[in-house]
């Protein structure tokens, strides 16, 4: 299929976070745009977001994943940028009015990665070993499997987290395999956690390209960057999150796999300490990913997710 006409779109600016991984992602989209539209001028606008600045607190107590995207959206509103590139796992399930995901790219490895300088596998860690992660989802699942481990919050960009590991502040850290692979750091991975061991976050491994919904010409320009199979999976995963009011204060995992015309969706919702976990595994029509997501969310409620959510919402 030929790419759509650019309709007088001659130059675009991509808003991006300043981290090395975010810059890689923006540059990747820039290169893909150049391949499709050789005459298109593409610039980058690196920005610092509140999510990047608040490194000493958990995201769930500081305002959630939207902290990584609000400044980028503001740049699009005031005309400094035309689009933004996000890790889909960082994109809130509800976009602000006037914004749309114009494309969801082909997914990288969606799994979580175990990284350690001393231990080859999660099971080799002795009780009391310190494991770092910024994710309540990862922490809950690891706590369920290995309740004797000490799990500590680990914030910062990818290089910062690895540096803290290398300084001996942690015995191991849990990271997204996709980010390590994209930055040429796959050799740091000691063990890949399969979905049965650590269910990924909704959208993990995929990139989302956001722009203003009113900019129809740009939406049309960006559409060929999307991957239909990845989009179907991510839509189903995000539907689970949406149905349960998911945010980064909720340890929730969702992972979909396309199997011909069918879609398998696994999801879980946990208490932060991993002592209570509701799980669901459903298959449905790939043409209706949101419906499957809603059905899977309902299955989680039947397994006790509502009680877990009530506990999470209770004053502490």
**How confident is the model over 96-145, as pLDDT tens digits?**
999 999 999 999 999 999 999 999 999 999 999 999 999 999 999 999 99
Q: Are 300 and 267 in contact (CB under 8 A)?
A: yes
Residue 63 has what pLDDT?
A: 45
Residue 57 has what pLDDT?
A: 47
Q: Are 59 and 67 in contact (CB under 8 A)?
A: yes
Residue 129 has what pLDDT?
A: 98
Please check whether the two domains, 11-106+206-226 and 112-193, share a CATH topology. Answer: yes
Helix (H) or strand (E) holding 135: none
Domain ranges of the chain: 11-106+206-226, 112-193, 235-313
Residue 59 has what pLDDT?
A: 45
For 235-313, CATH gives: 3.30.160.40
Name the catalytic one among 90, 109, 171, 294. 90
User: If you classify domain 11-106+206-226 with CATH, what class do you get?
Assistant: alpha beta
* Residue 187 CB contacts under 8 Å (≥ 6 apart), including other chains: none
Average pLDDT, the chain: 91
Residue 312 has what pLDDT?
A: 86
Backbone angles phi, psi at 76, to 5 degrees: -75, -35
Residue 155 has what pLDDT?
A: 85
For 112-193, CATH gives: 3.40.190.10
Could you tell me what percentage of the chain is helix, strand and coil, using 3-state DSSP and rounding each to the nearest 5? Answer: 40, 25, 40
Residue 314 has what pLDDT?
A: 76
Residue 178 has what pLDDT?
A: 97
Residues (pLDDT < 50) of the chain are 1-6, 51-55, 57-64
Which pairing describes strands 172-176 and 130-133: parallel, antiparallel, or unpaired?
parallel
Q: Is 90 a catalytic residue?
A: yes
Residue 250 has what pLDDT?
A: 86
């Amino acid at each position: 299929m030929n790419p759509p006409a650019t309709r007088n779109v001659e130059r675009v600016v991509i808003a991006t976070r300043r981290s090395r991984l975010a810059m890689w992602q923006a540059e990747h989209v820039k290169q893909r745009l150049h391949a499709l539209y050789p005459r298109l001028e593409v610039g980058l606008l690196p920005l610092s977001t509140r999510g990047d600045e608040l490194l000493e607190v958990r995201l769930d107590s500081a305002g959630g994943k939207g902290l990584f995207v609000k400044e980028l959206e503001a740049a699009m509103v005031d005309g400094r940028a035309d689009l933004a590139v996000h890790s889909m796992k960082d994109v809130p399930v509800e976009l602000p009015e006037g914004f749309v995901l114009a494309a969801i790219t082909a997914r990288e490895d969606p799994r979580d990665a175990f990284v350690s300088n001393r231990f080859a596998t999660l099971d080799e860690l002795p009780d009391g070993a310190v494991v770092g992660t910024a994710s309540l989802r990862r922490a809950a699942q690891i706590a369920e499997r290995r309740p004797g481990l000490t799990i500590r919050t680990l914030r910062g960009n990818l290089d910062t987290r690895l540096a803290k590991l290398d300084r001996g502040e942690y015995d191991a850290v849990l990271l997204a395999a996709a980010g390590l692979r994209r930055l040429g750091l796959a050799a740091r991975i000691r063990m890949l956690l399969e979905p049965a061991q650590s269910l990924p976050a909704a959208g993990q491994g995929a990139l989302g390209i956001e722009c203003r919904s009113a900019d129809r010409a740009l939406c049309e320009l960006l559409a060929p960057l999307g991957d239909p199979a990845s989009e179907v999976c991510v839509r189903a995963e995000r539907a689970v999150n949406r149905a349960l009011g998911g945010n980064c204060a909720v340890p929730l995992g969702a992972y979909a796999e396309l199997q011909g015309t069918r879609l398998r969706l696994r999801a879980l919702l946990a208490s932060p300490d991993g002592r209570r976990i509701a799980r669901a595994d459903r298959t449905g029509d790939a043409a209706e990913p949101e419906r499957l997501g809603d059905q899977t969310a309902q299955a989680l409620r039947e397994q006790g997710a509502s009680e877990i959510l009530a506990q999470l919402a209770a004053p502490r």
